[in-house]
Structure 1
Amino acid sequence: MDNSGTEVFYIVLLGFILMLLMGSFIVTMVIIHRQKQLQNKQKLAALRAEYEKTIINAEKEIRENTLTHVGRELHDNIGQLLSLAKMNLSSSKPEKVSEGKSMINQIIKEVRSLSKSLNLDWVESITLSDFIQNELGKLESAAFCQTQFIKSGEEVNLDKDKKIILIRTIQECLNNAIKHAKPKNISFTMETTQEQLMICIKDDGVGFNTSQVSSGSGMFNLKNRMLTIGGNFEIKSNPGEGTDIKLSLPISNP
């Protein structure tokens, strides 16, 4: 009887210990799971904050870029048209007065167009291909360099926030080429497939050593911007060999 009672005691004790171990294991797993959930929430919050910060910065830069363009147009284009209109309207010749009135109508159209560009709603109404062609048209009209645009595939519909970041990235790539590359030719290729949008920007400028690009450079910022919208930024360049930039963005199929 004593041996039997001792065995029962040890069995009960062992079962109790196993229950404690199992309970401790379950509690530990619950704590680890909750910690991981908290970490994931913090990461998602940080990613969202970075995304919103990137959008705000891109919107601000687009507005600043637009204001620079508006100022230049007011000074170089509309200012000149107003001077000519004033001269013509002051003339005693009917044909000159008629020409002056026609210029006034043209000026009104130009001012309306500029006022629309100050509102970022134009981002939603313009396609990426039209935007790229407009930007290249500015370079052509300024006689800065020769340009080329090749498009393949259907036009992709992006939400406004992603399009803003992509447009600002394209603008910055062009600005870098204008400021530093001194190219004779700039070409754009836009290819759309079922899986992704690919935009290639190539110039035949002076090029540079990409290995010497610092972490605080504009190229690093452009890469981070593409990452915030789930895209990718690649650049290839060598001194004297121009620069190739590839922007890729996955397409979300409904």
Structure 2
Amino acid sequence: MRLGASPITSADLHGLLDLVPDPTVAVDRDLRVVAASRAAGLLLDRRHSDLAGLSLDDFLPGGVLDPEAKLDVRRPDGSELPVEISVRVIEVDSGPVLMVAIRDVTERRGRAAALREAGERFKRLFEDGPVAMALVGDDLVLAEVNAAFCKLTGYSAEELSGLTFNDISHPDDRDVGLRLVRGTFTGEIPAFKLDKRYLKKDGEVVWVEVSVSSIRDEEGRPIKTLGVMQDITERRLALTHAHEELDRLARERDRILEFAGEGIYHVDEDGRITFANPAAAKMLGWPLEALLGKPAHELLHHTHADGSHFSRYDCPIHGPSERAVRHATDDVFWRRDGRSFAVHYTSAPVSEPGVAGAVVVFTDVSEQVAMQAALHDARARAARERLKAAEAERARWARELHDETLQGLAALHVQLASRVRTGTVDEMVVQMREAQEQIESEMDKLRGLIADLRPAALDELGLEASVQDLAERTQVVYGIEVDTRLELHDTEGAPQRLAPDVETAAYRIAQESLSNAARHAGASRVFVEVAQRDGKLRICVTDDGGGFDPGGESSGFGLRGMRERVDLLAGELEIGSQPGSGTKVTALLPVG
């Protein structure tokens, strides 16, 4: 190749070499360097002037000038650099010379080697790796598949070679997969990942996670796509099961909320009701749908129990202040009809996004409050009745002492005083004897009164002896016949003792029954039976008196006192009577 019509001079050759961008040497027909560029000197690690006169073989072993050959240049230190050359002929005044341009291709060969190594590694990974892989061309046909992909789908490589990836995809997943893969070939989508289903050769559905990336040529154009598939069937089944379980739990929660006896509702951060269960709607007197969206405070919690109003900003449940778990046992809610009812409630904050606010669970306790008030009133009435009974009992003892003991003592006093003033000694002796007899009579009466208050025999000898003593005293004092049948002996015949409260209650029941028979019923004969059977103590007092109407018993303190004693021991009391036919009092007291 000639640069011009006239050859250049040898002096111009050096300037021309420095203008060439690549390291260049000029050699003659004998392959000896006649001139070299400064860049060539740097490449060959020599002064460029020292290159002149060297044989090409001195730094290019073999002196090969084949541009297609893989060549290396040798430096003075023995190191070698991979190079490529290009050669052209120019004319100088001394004759034709070869211009040999030498390019360092160390980096290019390194990149090529790295690419070859990466290609080998990918090939080994593709062919022998445990992960399913497939290469797809722009015609969407499966160009290459590995053994793991064949195992995943159940097809052989030969069977897959003529199929597209859509041929083995589930019908519901084909459109989205096709759109995404086409996007990788147009360059719109460099890579993507999705879960989809493949249909195996035997028809079984397998879930896979597909990661797709594009493979490009040197100019960056997509030529193939690489798909990496991971079997996630078990994961998807577990996820499906988890969703089913969550759905089941949600249905269970809804059923619990629907059938819960407590009222439950949710308010958002603005205090509006977003959810309420049927129990809440029923207690508040609103249709369920009508509650939703309404301000809870203004609807159901606007007024205290005493009638004083308060704003939502002061409300511990629905107010805007920082919420905390709160419990109240003495508050009221208001129904749609304007009536209030007592509630116990618990309010708990909810902070999750989208449902922030509070959940309130409340119970209508108006019946409990009413029952507590009624119980309080009943206790107060019972206390008043007990006080009246005690006062009546005191009045009875006062009458007994006044009408009998005090009157007897007064008569005795008058008798003694009159005889002292007027009588003889013999008459005084007689009067003294009469006074002595009267004193003894009054002493017996006092002993009877004391025994009525608390018989000593009850503490010392037990129930059987006390009831027997009571029957005898009643018979003597009132002149009526009293028969007894007392069966309170143990297996050896000894008197059997019971709990003190049981013995006291049994004695008082017998005492009151005998007193009523002798003093009010006009009875001439009374039968008293006390026996223990089947874990219960039975007290039965029957008289032949005038009887009475048990429906009017509430006015009598004695019968009321008997009932209270029986109720305290969780026993039973039955009173059978009617006017003109006598009375039968039966009490059963537990002793076990």
TM-score category by the smaller chain? 0.5 to 0.7
CA contact (8 A) 1:233 1:247 kept: yes
Residues 195-242 of structure 1: CA distance to partner in whole angstroms, max 9, x if unpaired?
2222211112234566xx257464973673222322221233455543
Query: Equivalences for 1:127-166 in 2 at 5 Å?
Result: 127-129=462-464, 130=466, 133-134=469-470, 137-143=473-479, 145-153=480-488, 154-159=495-500, 166=506
Structure 2 counterpart of 1:117:
450
Query: Equivalences for 1:212-251 in 2 at 5 Å?
Result: 213-214=551-552, 216=554, 218=556, 221=560, 224-225=563-564, 226-237=566-577, 240-251=580-591
Alpha-carbon distance in structure 2 between the residues aligned to 1:78 and 1:131? 29
Alpha-carbon distance in structure 1 between the residues aligned to 2:522 and 2:453? 30
Structure 1 counterpart of 2:30:
none
Structure 1 counterpart of 2:425:
93
Structure 2 counterpart of 1:173:
513
Gaps of 5+ in 2: 1-194, 198-235, 263-360, 489-494
Say what the alpha-carbon RMSD is for the aligned residues: 5.3
The TM-score normalised by the length of structure 1 is: 0.61
% identical aligned pairs? 16
Structure 1 counterpart of 2:290:
none
Q: Is 1:201 matched with 2:534?
A: no
Of residues 194-203 and 116-125 in structure 1, the stretch that sits farther from structure 2 once superposed is: 116-125
Structure 1 counterpart of 2:250:
17
Q: In 2 relative to 1, CA 204–26 (structure 1 residues): closer, same or farther, beyond 3 Å?
A: closer
1:170 shift after superposition: 3.6
Alpha-carbon distance in structure 2 between the residues aligned to 1:8 and 1:155? 72
CA contact (8 A) 1:183 1:204 kept: yes
Structure 1 counterpart of 2:265:
none
Q: In 2 relative to 1, CA 113–180 (structure 1 residues): closer, same or farther, beyond 3 Å?
A: closer
1:99 shift after superposition: 3.6
Q: In 2 relative to 1, CA 150–180 (structure 1 residues): closer, same or farther, beyond 3 Å?
A: same
Q: Secondary structure at the match of 1:181?
A: coil
Alpha-carbon distance in structure 2 between the residues aligned to 1:165 and 1:55? 15
Query: Equivalences for 1:64-79 in 2 at 5 Å?
Result: 64-79=395-410
| The structure with more strand, counted as a fraction of residues | 2
Counterpart of 2:398 in structure 1: which amino acid? L
1:57 shift after superposition: 5.8
1:121 shift after superposition: 5.8
Alpha-carbon distance in structure 2 between the residues aligned to 1:59 and 1:8? 75
The TM-score normalised by the length of structure 2 is: 0.31
Residues 80-136 of structure 1: CA distance to partner in whole angstroms, max 9, x if unpaired?
333344456556639739948x849x57x939957x839956577475442563365
1:77 shift after superposition: 2.8
Q: Secondary structure at the match of 2:412?
A: helix
Q: In 2 relative to 1, CA 63–178 (structure 1 residues): closer, same or farther, beyond 3 Å?
A: same
Residues 46-72 of structure 1: CA distance to partner in whole angstroms, max 9, x if unpaired?
7x958x847666554443333332222
Counterpart of 1:133 in structure 2: which amino acid? D
Residues 142-165 of structure 1: CA distance to partner in whole angstroms, max 9, x if unpaired?
33x3222332213544435x6665
Alpha-carbon distance in structure 2 between the residues aligned to 1:20 and 1:147? 72
CA contact (8 A) 1:85 1:103 kept: no
Q: In 2 relative to 1, CA 110–178 (structure 1 residues): closer, same or farther, beyond 3 Å?
A: closer
Q: In 2 relative to 1, CA 56–186 (structure 1 residues): closer, same or farther, beyond 3 Å?
A: same
Alpha-carbon distance in structure 1 between the residues aligned to 2:514 and 2:537? 19
Counterpart of 2:484 in structure 1: which amino acid? F
1:27 shift after superposition: 11
Q: In 2 relative to 1, CA 98–168 (structure 1 residues): closer, same or farther, beyond 3 Å?
A: same
Counterpart of 1:243 in structure 2: which amino acid? T
Q: Secondary structure at the match of 2:545?
A: coil
| The structure with more helix, counted as a fraction of residues | 1
Q: Secondary structure at the match of 2:570?
A: coil
CA contact (8 A) 1:209 1:238 kept: yes
Q: Secondary structure at the match of 1:198?
A: strand
Q: Larger Rg: 1 or 2?
A: 2
Gaps of 5+ in 1: none
Question: Structure with the greater relative contact order (CA < 8 A, sep ≥ 6): 1 or 2?
Answer: 1
Q: Secondary structure at the match of 2:243?
A: helix
